[in-house]
Structures are given as C-alpha cells and as structure tokens.
A and B are shown apart, each in its own frame.
Chain A
C-alpha cells in the first residue's frame, strides 16, 4: 500500500482541552482496507481533539461513507486508480478531503432517500448521511474523478 503523511504543523501530544492542529495526507489503494484506515485516522483525530462520542461517530461515519463512495462507486475497486485523502484540523474546523479517479457523478441528481417511493430502496443513503452528519459538504469534479470536502465546525456554529 502506497501512502504518505505530512504535517503542516507538527502534531504535539494531544491534551483533550487543546485539540492539536495538523494536516495528514494519504494516497491509498481502492480497497476496503483503505476505507478502514481512513476511518481509523479520522476517529483518532476526533478522539485526540476531545470530541464527544456522538460527534466522533458523526465524523467517522461521514468519512467512512465518503471513502466507500470513492473506492466503490468512484474507482470501482480498480487497482490502477488511487484515492487521495487529506485530514486537517485547523483548530476551528475539521476538514476532510476525499478524491477518487472515477468517471464522476452529479450530486444534484441523487434521489431523495426520504421520499416515500425510495424509503424501501436498499441503496442511495450514503450522500444523504454525509450531508446530514457534517456542517458543510462540497463536491468538485476533477476530470477524471470527484473530490468531496467535508467540514465539521469544532466551535459551536450557527446553523
């Protein structure tokens, strides 16, 4: 597995009351093992920032869903395609960027999973969950590929 890690700011030991700032980049194969690795890294980051259990769950779940989308729907498990992941704690926000090298998709044309006619569908809830669990979600087409940016505000935010 190819990956690297860099630090925009040096990660210090992480007292719960003072979340450490930092930035971590990964380039990973299109496998479920990569999903687990990214999810674990996001959870570690959230734990070190002293976030409560619910918030940690929301973050790891959204990152899990976004990474699954990149590996499964974007890169379709293609070993020649990689996913690029950046996890960043700015001190004010957690920012997660997950990019694939797939054919791309239009986020504006995703069926509403809450519509009565879709409620019993077995698929189609991933993007909805990401949007529900994070404060901001941004899509960018990369030609090829799709980049999702997920933002969670660490300070209380007006919604």
Chain B
C-alpha cells in the first residue's frame, strides 16, 4: 500500500498522519515533499504520526533522517509519534532511536513543543 499523508493542526503543531509504507518509490518522495512544503511555509513544529506505518525500508529511514535534518537546519523541530513495533525495532537497530524525540501518545508529543 502506498503512503497517504493527512495534515492537521493541534495547538500550533502540525501533525502529519502517515498511513502505509515508506519505501523507495512508495512514500519516500511524498514524505520529502510534505516536509519541504511545511518548512517552506515556516512551520516550526512538526509531529509525524507513524502509528499506521507498518513497513519502512532503508530508503524510508533515510528519508526520516533527512526530514529531521531539513527541519533542524530551518530551526524547526520534527518529532515522531506512535511507532509500531516493526518501525520501533528498526529505529533501535539503526540507533536512530537516539536521534529522534519519540512519543507514545499524541498529548505528550504536542505538549513537548511548549
């Protein structure tokens, strides 16, 4: 299943609800475009909801990292919400767990920007 991305605002934070796969050719480009669009509009607080993402490959992991660095370079903060077990395992394996701020529940994620 390709990636779908829905955007909503919660207390000044843009939450991107991702659903599907983030892989080479199946979501990486969509995610990159969505992040660039938000950064271009000056959004500084971005929370990626990955609770409906069950598959991510090395390209997708790289895209998450690129999104993180793109945001950081523009003084924005990109954080992760609701990792599935598979995605969590991959972030642990690749040590990317140490890079991102990760939240289990949305309220905590939103509150972290205050």
Which A residues form the contact surface with B (CB < 8 A)?
32, 35, 54, 57, 61, 64-65, 68, 72, 113-114, 119-126, 128-129, 132
User: Which B residues are in CB contact (< 8 Å) with A123?
Assistant: 58-59, 62
Partner of B65, one of A64, A121, A126: A121
The binding surface of chain A is classed by DSSP as helix
Q: Which of B61-87 contact A (CB under 8 A)?
A: 61-63, 65-66, 68-69, 86
For the complex, give the distance between the alpha carbons of A37 and B6 in Å.
Answer: 29
Which B residues form the contact surface with A (CB < 8 A)?
23-25, 55, 57-59, 61-63, 65-66, 68-69, 86, 89-90, 93-96, 98-99
Partner of B62, one of A32, A72, A125, A132: A125
For the complex, give the distance between the alpha carbons of A125 and B69 in Å.
Answer: 17
User: Which A residues are in CB contact (< 8 Å) with B86?
Assistant: 57
For the complex, give the distance between the alpha carbons of A128 and B90 in Å.
Answer: 11
User: Which B residues are in CB contact (< 8 Å) with A132?
Assistant: 93
B94 touches A64 (CB 8 A): no
**Chain B residue at minimum C-beta to C-beta distance from A114:** B95
B62 touches A119 (CB 8 A): no
**Chain B residue at minimum C-beta to C-beta distance from A132:** B93
